[in-house]
Amino acid sequence: MAYQPIPKDIANLRWPPNLVDYATVRSQFDWAAAGRLLAGLPNGGGLNIAHEAVDRHASSPRASRVALRWLGKNGERRDITYCDLAGETNRFANALRGLGIGAGGRVFVLLGRVPELYIAVLGALKAKCVAAPLFSAFGPEPIATRLAIGDGEVLVTTEALYRRKVEGIRERLLALRHVILIDDGPPVAGTRRWRDVMIAASDHFTIPPTDPEDMALLHFTSGTTGRPKGAIHVHQAVVTHYVTGLYALDLHDDDIFWCTADPGWVTGTSYGIIAPLTHGVTNLVVEAEFDAPTWYGILANERVTVWYTAPTAIRMMMKLGAAAVRGYDLGALRFMASVGEPLNPEAVVWSEDAFGRPFHDNWWQTETGGIMIANYLALPVKPGSMGLPLPGIEAAIVERQPDGSVSVVDRPMVEGELALKAGWPSMMRGYLHEDERYRKCFAGPWYLTGDLAKRDGDGYFWFVGRADDVIKSSGHLIGPFEVESALLEHPAVAEAGVIGKPDPMAGEIVKAFVALNPGYAASQALRRDLLGHARKRLGAVVAPKEIAFRDNLPKTRSGKIMRRLLRARELGLPEGDLSTLESDER
Ligand code: AMP
């Protein structure tokens, strides 16, 4: 049966969509004018994300509105108004000053979704420090690597996370001056307690003049090779956060917004903190991990109006069936969006059945800092498509040429690399300490995304896959090199090659192939030991789920493991060009 979307009856919507005439808005859009939608610091002091997200509301009639509504995993509930949030973030900014952390100081946060995370990130931005949130599910290795690359000076975490994941790596972290534990308890050597630093600090703070180009956020992402990359974002990025909140998420003044992503991932910062707060709405923060009935209960009880989530969660909901949704009153919910991985067309069709409205897929990545391509409330959704470029964004399908330049592919539905014309406010300004890697992302005016896609005759973009070897598992971008390095630390492992293996729920799972050192034999016990080793080092999110033993791994003549070949063989796909294959014993 052909898919029949539910017609969008825009005229009868209580909140008219912010973007109706896409073509006109697009043709008239300019980023400088969009920047004027924000307040700016008083007296021409520049632009600071925390001022736009917190202080300007705290000094307006919105002051007493709930900014963060936190639902703790043990049933706790805490409302923080814009006024309260201004005071708490002021305290943290003063606390950083008191600790001797100046402008540009790197403040890392290793926490679950708890209020202190939000206060620390926004407080750091007020103090003109650079905020870098990490996934609390990371193991010690990814934490150590990122803190070292980012020159982390302050780490905000819990005592349990500190003891399990940081104490053992601390001596490697030469820049790390202060560790702040958010929970109360007896002293722990080399750390301070949140309560102590906060009590000593004033809740008055004036954000110093901030250049829109000052570095604000550091988000780590992964490539095919080498260490993780720290993508640099500046205060100016808030213009994209605001505009995408307006057009792609259709935020309105009295929305109750829920972004389910963790701030350890760029989505959880750009849309779990900044975009909703710049719009002055109530931002729901849910500490617990995914559980379908709990989520439906939250959507209903909290009267969520706009919901931003991810395909893995949607697929898990689909497994339980549409009937499971029907017992909940979701009358308040008016817009649903999804990001991070391909959203299967069936998921869009299913959501119309289950929720009476479609998930609107959108596309972006750590480097772009904000949504670039989206399905919009007022426009037809094509299930399986990522949608149309945001006003202000020029996207194209390009083909790389041998001389390093690219040519734009004009014909519809021809596969090529997705490229964006550089110049929007939240574009990364560099990879920290990695100028060469940053430069390689560009060809002339085009930023090359590393994704393969197609564009149809109506201008909608369709995701095809990655052009490189990075893995997307349950929405997490995982660099195979980081996993291979951890496996190689095990005495039994001589060679390791890591691929993404398609999985109906997670999109992909991490699968490792290893060749063993002399004296070691493949066995179930060794496999368990390797899985345990990887999980301990990397954390469950990054560690492989499957390990296969091989006598030898396919390599190029220069000794590089051919992950593509491992993947092709695993999936029974054509092996492609083997001219560079050097050694290979299956
Ligand atoms: P990250 O930088 O971790 O946010 O990952 C960005 C990558 O996730 C993109 O380059 C894509 O490969 C993938 N991705 C993000 N959104 C989508 C989407 N809507 N459809 C397909 N892939 C996506």
Q: To which H or E segment does residue 195 belong? A: helix 194-199
Which residue shows structure tokens 């213009």?
239
Question: What pLDDT, on a 0 to 100 scale, did the predictor assign at position 223?
Answer: 84
Rounded Cα distance between 438 and 432, Å, is: 9
Which numbered atom of ligand 1 lies nearest the CA of 450? 10
CB 70 within 8 A of CB 117: no
Which numbered atom of ligand 1 lies nearest the CA of 267? 4
Q: How much of the chain, in percent, has pLDDT values that exceed 70?
A: 97
Model confidence pLDDT, tens digit, residues 365-390 = 999 999 999 999 999 999 999 999 99
Tell me what the mean pLDDT of segment 407-426 comes to.
97
Model confidence pLDDT, tens digit, residues 206-233 = 999 999 999 999 999 998 888 899 999 9
Among 310, 218, 221, CA closest to 258: 310
Rounded Cα distance between 336 and 347, Å, is: 12
Q: How far is the CA of 362 from the centre of ligand 1 (A)?
A: 9
Rounded Cα distance between 302 and 299, Å, is: 6
Among 23, 20, 12, CA closest to 250: 20
Q: Atom 10 of ligand 1 has which residue's CA nearest to it?
A: 365
Average pLDDT, the chain: 95
Q: How far is the CA of 462 from the centre of ligand 1 (A)?
A: 12
Instruction: Out of 364, 381, 461, give the residue to mutate to test ligand 1, the one with the largest number of ligand atoms within 8 Å of its CB.
Output: 364
Instruction: Tally helices (H) and strands (E) across the chain.
Output: 20, 28
Dihedral angle sign, alpha carbons of residues 557, 563, 569, 574: negative
Model confidence pLDDT, tens digit, residues 145-196 = 999 999 999 999 999 999 999 999 999 999 999 999 999 999 999 999 999 9
Tell me what the mean pLDDT of segment 416-433 comes to.
98
Question: What pLDDT, on a 0 to 100 scale, did the predictor assign at position 96?
Answer: 98
Q: How far is the CA of 310 from the centre of ligand 1 (A)?
A: 10
Which residue shows structure tokens 């609107």?
360
Q: How far is the CA of 340 from the centre of ligand 1 (A)?
A: 4
CB of residue 266 inside a 6 A radius of ligand 1: yes
Rounded Cα distance between 499 and 513, Å, is: 8
More confident residue, 279 or 224: 279
Rounded Cα distance between 487 and 582, Å, is: 23
CB of residue 359 inside a 6 A radius of ligand 1: no
Beta strand pairing call for 192-193 and 178-181: parallel
CB of residue 472 inside a 6 A radius of ligand 1: yes
Which residue shows structure tokens 């060469």?
436
Rounded Cα distance between 85 and 67, Å, is: 7
Does the structure show a pLDDT above 70 at 486? yes
Q: How much of the chain, in percent, has pLDDT values that exceed 90?
A: 92
Question: What pLDDT, on a 0 to 100 scale, did the predictor assign at position 152?
Answer: 98
Scanning 332-406, the segments in alpha helix (DSSP H) are 345-355
Does the structure show a pLDDT above 70 at 7? no
CB of residue 477 inside a 6 A radius of ligand 1: yes
pLDDT band at 1 (very low <50, low <70, confident <90, very high): very low
Rounded Cα distance between 378 and 16, Å, is: 9
Does the structure show a pLDDT above 70 at 2? no
CB of residue 461 inside a 6 A radius of ligand 1: no
Does the structure show a pLDDT above 70 at 406? yes
Sheet of 546-549, strands arranged across: 493-503, 507-516, 546-549
**Crossing angle of helices 311-320 and 292-301, rounded to 10°:** 100
Q: Atom 19 of ligand 1 has which residue's CA nearest to it?
A: 363
**Crossing angle of helices 524-538 and 480-488, rounded to 10°:** 120
DSSP 3-state assignment of 74? Answer: coil
Rounded Cα distance between 579 and 106, Å, is: 46
Angle at the Cα of 197 from the Cα atoms of 191 and 201, rounded to 5 degrees: 160
Among 396, 399, 346, 388, CA closest to 363: 388
Q: How far is the CA of 223 from the centre of ligand 1 (A)?
A: 13
CB 366 within 8 A of CB 338: no
Bridge partners for 400 per DSSP:
406
Q: How far is the CA of 463 from the centre of ligand 1 (A)?
A: 9
The DSSP call for residue 6 is P
Model confidence pLDDT, tens digit, residues 13-35 = 778 999 999 999 999 999 999 99
Among 417, 82, 477, 418, CA closest to 266: 477
CB of residue 333 inside a 6 A radius of ligand 1: no
Question: What pLDDT, on a 0 to 100 scale, did the predictor assign at position 586?
Answer: 41
Does the structure show a pLDDT above 70 at 137? yes
Q: How far is the CA of 495 from the centre of ligand 1 (A)?
A: 29
Distances from the Cα of 285 to the Cαs of 131, 209, 242, 281, 411, in angstroms? 19, 30, 19, 13, 44
Q: How far is the CA of 468 from the centre of ligand 1 (A)?
A: 13
More confident residue, 491 or 574: 491
Among 154, 69, 65, CA closest to 108: 154
pLDDT band at 5 (very low <50, low <70, confident <90, very high): low
Does the structure show a pLDDT above 90 at 585? no
Q: How far is the CA of 413 from the centre of ligand 1 (A)?
A: 19
Q: How far is the CA of 277 from the centre of ligand 1 (A)?
A: 24
CB of residue 191 inside a 6 A radius of ligand 1: no
Q: How far is the CA of 186 from the centre of ligand 1 (A)?
A: 43
CB of residue 49 inside a 6 A radius of ligand 1: no
Q: DSSP string of 441-487?
A: TEETTEEEEEEEEEE-TTS-EEEEEESSS-EEETTEEE-HHHHHHHH
- Looking at residue 204, its amino acid is H
Q: How far is the CA of 42 from the centre of ligand 1 (A)?
A: 37
Beta strands of 66-153 (E only): which ranges?
Answer: 66-71, 77-81, 106-110, 130-134
Q: Atom 3 of ligand 1 has which residue's CA nearest to it?
A: 477
Q: Atom 15 of ligand 1 has which residue's CA nearest to it?
A: 340
Angle at the Cα of 560 from the Cα atoms of 557 and 566, rounded to 5 degrees: 105
Structure tokens at 285: 């923060």
CB 479 within 8 A of CB 222: yes
Beta strands of 121-166 (E only): which ranges?
Answer: 130-134, 154-157
Which numbered atom of ligand 1 lies nearest the CA of 477? 3
Instruction: Out of 477, 508, 542, give the residue to mutate to test ligand 1, the one with the largest number of ligand atoms within 8 Å of its CB.
Output: 477
For residue 493, what are the contacts with CB-CB under 8 A and spacing of at least 6? 487, 514, 515, 516, 517, 530
**Which domains, from first to last, does the chain contain?**
10-455 (3.40.50.12780), 469-583 (3.30.300.30)
pLDDT band at 6 (very low <50, low <70, confident <90, very high): low
Stated pTM of the model:
0.94
Sheet of 359-363, strands arranged across: 77-81, 66-71, 282-286, 256-259, 306-309, 335-339, 359-363, 373-374, 388-389
